[in-house]
């Protein structure tokens, strides 16, 4: 297989355009990065998940999913439930921000972090619509270079999550104050509620 640089760059740009928007997954990665809690694991899960989904889209799975309305409805409902659960947890943290620190004792176990990260990724219908259906459909227009397009998209995901997760620590001095955590978690809770509502309305 010969790598097509133009197709890879197109995939990189398109992948970033889909992933840079504020959403459940990005809000979670941002918070973990600021708190410096299991950042490497979170980045790895998000990037690896995107790689699998992009590969599935490039392979043509998007066409199959688009025809399974019942499956997409079930995914939307399950995703909304996960988002609402995380919204409640974020709201509780916003109500009592004094227990959070930017660095120090880990507030969240590794197991809980992994479960939440996987849930926010794999139970989010927008992830399938963006990576498998939309990106997969676009990759088909590149013919034999669609694999290069997919590689570019995967690289964009890896760069974004790594930058977001590890770059967020630059905000740590700001979040040394409980009030800053309160604002962040209130924002996260609001984001989750809005996304969950949109999923339920779509279902």
- Among 17-31, 52-66, 69-83, 143-157, where is mean pLDDT lowest? 69-83
pLDDT above 70: residue 53: yes
pLDDT band at 63 (very low <50, low <70, confident <90, very high): low
Band of pLDDT at residue 54, cut at 50, 70 and 90: very high
Task: Give the pLDDT score at 23.
Answer: 74
- pLDDT band at residue 82 using 50, 70 and 90 as cut-offs: confident
Calculate ∠ Cα 94-97-103, nearest 5°: 125
> Per-domain residue ranges for the chain?
5-202
pLDDT digits 0-9 by tens, 94-134? 787 554 444 443 457 899 999 999 988 888 777 877 788 77
93 has pLDDT over 80? no
- Rounded to the nearest integer, the mean pLDDT of the chain is 81
Give me the pLDDT at residue 115, please: 92
């Amino acid at each position: 297989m010969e790598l097509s640089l133009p197709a890879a760059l197109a995939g990189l740009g398109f992948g970033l355009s889909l992933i840079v928007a504020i959403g459940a997954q990005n809000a979670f990665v941002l918070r973990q990065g600021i708190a410096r809690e299991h950042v490497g694991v979170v980045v790895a899960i998000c990037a690896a998940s995107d790689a699998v989904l992009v590969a599935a889209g490039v392979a043509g799975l998007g066409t199959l999913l688009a025809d399974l309305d019942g499956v997409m409805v079930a995914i939307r409902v399950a995703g909304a439930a996960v988002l609402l659960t995380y919204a409640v947890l974020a709201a509780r943290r916003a109500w009592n921000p004094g227990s959070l620190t930017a660095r120090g004792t880990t507030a969240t176990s590794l197991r809980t972090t992994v479960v939440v990260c996987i849930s926010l990724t794999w139970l989010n219908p927008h992830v399938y619509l963006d990576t498998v259906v939309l990106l997969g459909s676009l990759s088909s227009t590149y013919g034999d270079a669609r694999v290069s397009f997919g590689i570019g998209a995967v690289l964009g995901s890896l760069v974004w999550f790594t930058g977001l997760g590890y770059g967020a620590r630059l905000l740590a001095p700001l979040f040394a104050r409980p009030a800053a955590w309160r604002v962040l978690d209130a924002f996260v809770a609001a984001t989750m509620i809005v996304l969950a509502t949109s999923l339920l309305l779509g279902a």
